[in-house]
Structure 1
Amino acid sequence: MSVSPAALAYASRQALSPLMLVRLNIYWLGLSLLWGGFAIVYLPDRVEQLVGPDIKGTMLGVITAVGVTAAIIVQPLAGGISDRAWSRWGRRRPMLILGAICTAVFVLLMSLTATYLALLALILCQQISENFSRAAIKGVLPDLVGTTQMARASSINGILNIGGTVIGATIAGVFLDAGNPGGFVFVGGLTVAFAGLLAFLLIPKGPTAPAAPQPPLRSEFGQVISYLKAQPAFVRVVASRLVFFGAILAADNTLLFNLRDRLEVDNPGQWSSILLGLLLLATIASAWPAGVIGDRFGRKTVVYVACTCGCVGSICAAFIVHIAALGFAVAMLGFALGAFSAGDWALLIDKIPNPNSAGLYLGLANFAGAGGDAVGTLWAGIVLDLGNRGGQLHGFTIVYLVMALFMIAAALILRPLQDDVALLKSI
């Protein structure tokens, strides 16, 4: 068995300090803060204001579909462009700062919209610019981090992503409760612009010219299928991510319904915030240790632990109808999310078929993240509605049991793969 091309190419790099690993990921904090408040709080409220309560769900679904479609189409293209955008400032930083500024402008313009179609048009523009910046920042770790530190770098990525999402949703909720939901538009827009500027200043520019000539982007896209056939491990990791996030997003989308309809707690919104805070703490607690383990003993070990935690939490939520049991389940899902973020993202980078085109392939892998959101929302909603017919509330039990099966499947999909960390140590 041989080491994967990307893992071998990144293996000889100089070790970076933990502070530098934070600097490489800092843009994720601003980006996730924007999207956390935007998607969870601001957009649902704004759509209802523009179209009324009768069709708000459908119109919000249209916006979600537009966002997912844009993310799946734009990121691979933007990643491929980023792979070739060599300049005196490096190849990732110019696209990152440009995408961040354009994203901020489109978000700020949303405060002026008076119709749903205007909002939808600005969201499409915002999604295009945002995904250009996402494609650029995703290429930073493969450009600068060595294989033996990739899981720790990925763990910081996960912490800042989850942390930013929760912080953004909290800030947007404060504005909503104060009767000024549009105030978050200014906070979110300015934050993502500042985060982009900070990333441009703090991230090293890296190489300013390719070590060898690169084929044209069109030619590179034409070779994707042959590369994936030669390195099928990458497809397996993407499939595992799709299944895992399809379970996690199902839990997220059913949490409030569970609190209100199944547990019948007082103040379900307040309990939802408490449990999301618990999820964040558990994610932070598990991510860095998981990264250390992933760099030392292998990525698959960490992913297996993550999927086990997720499975245990899901089964607990399925059979024990109590707020304490739900708290335990959320904590286990947080441990799972933190560990998975560290191990699986590092494994994905290890398995990039062409190490010179990291931006393109990580953009293609966005199918798992964006697709997992859509899949989790769709299947959980259908199962919940069917299972809860007649007021029996069996839908919650079924959803959580299916989540447990998803966790098992996410681990089994990776079983045939070799772990490059162990192979590198044997060389």
Structure 2
Amino acid sequence: MQGPVTEPTEGPPPPSALPDIPTEPAVSQVVTGRPLRRMMACAAPAHLSVALVWGAVPSILLALQIQRTVGEGAKVGSLALVTTVGAIVAMVAQPVAGAVSDRTRSRFGRRTPWIVAGALTGGTALIVMGFSRSVPAVLAAWCFVHIGYNFAMGPLSAVMPDRVPSAQRGKYAAVLGLGSMGGSLLGQTLGAVLEDHITLAYVLLASFSITAVSVFVLVNPDRSNRDVPREPFRVAELVRGLLPHPRKHPDFFWVFVGRLCTYQSYFLVLGYKLYILQDYIGLGDEAISRVPALAGAGVAGILPSTLVCGPLSDRLGRRKPFVVASAALVGCAMLVPLAVPTMGGMLTMAFLVGLGFGCFQGVDTALISQVLPSRDSFARDLGVVNIAAALPQALAPAVAAAVVLGPGGYQALFPAAAAFGVLGAVAVLRVRSVR
């Protein structure tokens, strides 16, 4: 079984000499061959189903729901309030979900109970949100959506370091990337198509996510772990671990920063695209009908880069060049609408960002799996690093609102997003233990 690829003659010592960098789980659950292919086939729709929620709701359905509830004058501030509080909830829920699942002992394993319970909770809250008619009610339901789906996705993300061989993680990450990014972009299209049927959209999203996640755990059952010793749950240790330690685990810290900055670059603009199309590009009421075109341009970039880059990083035994280049491309592409403030400029940006983010999604997850601090707490550590993905998605409208309402207006969004992308690339360059 091949471990992570490292420099053969120079640079840092191999991961086997670094006790804080795991290669495979302490208790082996690794699958290969047909079971691994079956797990990949089920993982893609499971991740896609939850990504549909994050693609359709914050930037389209929630934005429209808030706009129709409070009116044009208060839409920006109200959306910022709901997404900011939701982001705080997500930031806490991810690592807590991981820590709890790491310590769970059951006949269904440590991940399955939380994956299923999380999807049921998130889906139910999403349906309740569809029937909410005030900002406080929407806010409360949105918080439970975050709690539920983060409790599902934290343990679901831990399946890769739990059960996928290191040498196959680029391919597996590419499958997850296709599911996640495809779901995000298809969610935008779904949100636009069902703009006049928001409650129906929420019901459909909830039903699909519960179904896809249930299929994954049923077809790929985890083994019982009731005989595995349980580590004590220490709240103080969990609080200290909410953010990666730059000295104890520097590589884990830098991949966290790289993901945080790259996702912030991506969602700062694309998470606010409806209002950008309405007000910056000047499409007004026509903006909602153009969202599917943006999603299509993004898919055209994402598909080839994700399919090629993940497996190619496995073949070459290198992760960093792909992640660095893709983060930089995401950032630089954000400047296109600043120079060309038209629908054509937005479509060009969406395609280039798709190329970059598809590669990033296809390789960064594999890179992260090789720098996790502990073999015994994969889900907790992935929950921590997933904060770097969840937080920008939820906070983007709030950050964008602060920028747009400032003196720079919409024009300031694009250089701000570009700066975050470049910072993400620089952060990944600091990783030492993985090529």
TM-score normalised according to structure 2 size: 0.84
Aligned match for 1:113, one of 127, 132, 143 = 132
1:364 aligns to what?
384
In structure 1, what is the equivalent of residue 371 of structure 2?
A: 351
The CA distance in 2 between the partners of 1:226 and 1:379, in whole Å, is 21
C-alpha separation in 2, matches of 1:134 and 1:369: 12
Residue 148 of structure 1, CA deviation: 0.9
Instruction: Give the match for residue 93 of structure 1.
Output: 112
Contact 2:84 2:398 in 1 (8 A): no
* 387 and 206 in structure 1: CA distance in 2 versus 1, 3 angstrom threshold: farther
Q: Give the secondary structure class of the aligned counterpart of 1:214.
A: coil
Structure 2 residue aligned with 1:404: 418
Q: What does residue 232 of structure 1 align with?
A: 250
Q: 1:413 aligns with which of 400, 406, 427?
A: 427
Secondary structure in 1 aligned to 2:14? coil
- Report the counterpart of residue 265 of structure 2 in structure 1: 247
Provide the rounded CA distance (Å) in 2 between the counterparts of 1:49 and 1:92: 39
1:227 deviates by 8.3
Letter aligned with residue 2 of structure 1: P
Contact 2:84 / 2:395 at 8 angstroms: preserved in 1? Answer: no
Alignment CA distance shift 1:118-1:315 (3 Å): closer
The alpha carbon displacement at 1:379 in A equals: 4.7
Kindly, what percent of the aligned residue pairs are identical?
22
What secondary structure is seen at the aligned counterpart in 2 of 1:20? helix
User: Which AA in structure 1 matches 2:218?
Assistant: L
Q: CA deviation at 1:328?
A: 2.9
2:364 alignment partner AA: D
Q: In the alignment, is the contact (CA less than 8 A) between 1:248 and 1:333 conserved in 2?
A: yes
* CA shift for structure 1 position 355: 1.8
Deviation at 1:77, TM superposition (A): 1.0
Structure 1 residue corresponding to 2:91, chosen from 72, 76, 95: 72
Contact kept? 1:299, 1:419, Cα under 8 Å: no
Q: Is the 8 A contact 1:158 1:341 kept in 2?
A: yes
- Distance change (3 Å), C-alpha of 1:46 and 1:416: closer
Corresponding residue number in structure 2 for 1:174: 193
Match of 1:144 in 2: 163
CA distance in 2, matches of 1:244, 1:227: 17
CA distance, structure 2, for counterparts of residue 158 and residue 66 of structure 1: 27
User: d(CA) in 2 for partners of 1:106 and 1:375?
Assistant: 20
Alignment: residue pair count: 413
| Distance in 2 of aligned mates of 1:60 and 1:382 | 12
Equivalent in 23, 26, 39 of residue 45 of structure 2: 26
In the TM superposition, what whole-angstrom CA distance separates every residue of 1:141-172 from its partner, at most 9, and x where no partner exists? 11111111112211211211121122233223
How big is the shift at 1:84? 1.3
1:200 aligns with 2:217: yes
What amino acid does structure 2 have at the position aligned with 1:343? Answer: V
Across the aligned residues of Structure 1 and Structure 2, the Cα RMSD in angstroms comes to: 3.0
Deviation at 1:213, TM superposition (A): 5.4
Distance 2:396 2:73 in 1: 24
So what's the TM-score if we normalise by structure 1?
0.86
Contact 1:80 1:217 in 2 (8 A): no
Q: Are positions 1:306 and 2:306 aligned together?
A: no
In structure 2, relative to structure 1, the CA distance for the partners of 1:168 and 1:72 (3 Å cut) is: same
Q: Give the match for residue 14 of structure 2.
A: 2
Native 8 Å contact 1:71 1:366 kept in 2? no
- Equivalent AA in structure 1 for residue 310 of structure 2: G
Alpha-carbon distance in structure 2 between the residues aligned to 1:319 and 1:70: 37
Tell me the distance in 2 between the aligned counterparts of 1:312 and 1:180.
36
Are the equivalent residues in 2 in contact too, given 1:298–1:419 (CA < 8 A)? no
Query: Is 1:277 aligned to 2:296, yes or no?
Result: yes
Name the CA shift for 1:347/1:59 in 2 (closer, same or farther; >3 Å): same
Question: Aligned equivalents of 2:283 and 2:84: distance in 1?
Answer: 32
* SS of equivalent residue, structure 2 residue 429: coil
Deviations 1:187-213 (A, max 9, x none): 112112112211221223146257665
Which has more helix, going by share of residues? 1
**Residue aligning to 1:126:** 145
Give the direction of change, closer, same or farther, for the CA distance of 1:225–1:265 in structure 2 (3 Å limit): closer
Is residue 103 from structure 1 mapped to residue 122 from structure 2 by the alignment? Answer: yes
Counterpart code for 2:126: V
Unmatched segments (≥5 aa) in structure 2: 1-12
1:340 paired residue number: 360
TM superposition shift of 1:92: 0.7
Distance of 1:88 and 1:131 partners within structure 2: 23
CA distance in 1, matches of 2:403, 2:73: 23
4+ aligned runs moved over 6 Å, structure 1: none
- The CA deviation at 1:215 is 4.1
Residues 23-59 of structure 1 deviation map (CA, whole Å, 9 limit, x = unaligned)? 2343211112233222233322333444444433322
2:5 is matched with none
Q: Which moved more, 1:41-50 or 1:290-299?
A: 41-50
Q: In structure 2, do the counterparts of structure 1 residues 373 and 40 end up closer, same or farther at CA, with 3 Å as the change threshold?
A: closer
Give the deviation of 1:257 after TM superposition. Answer: 5.3
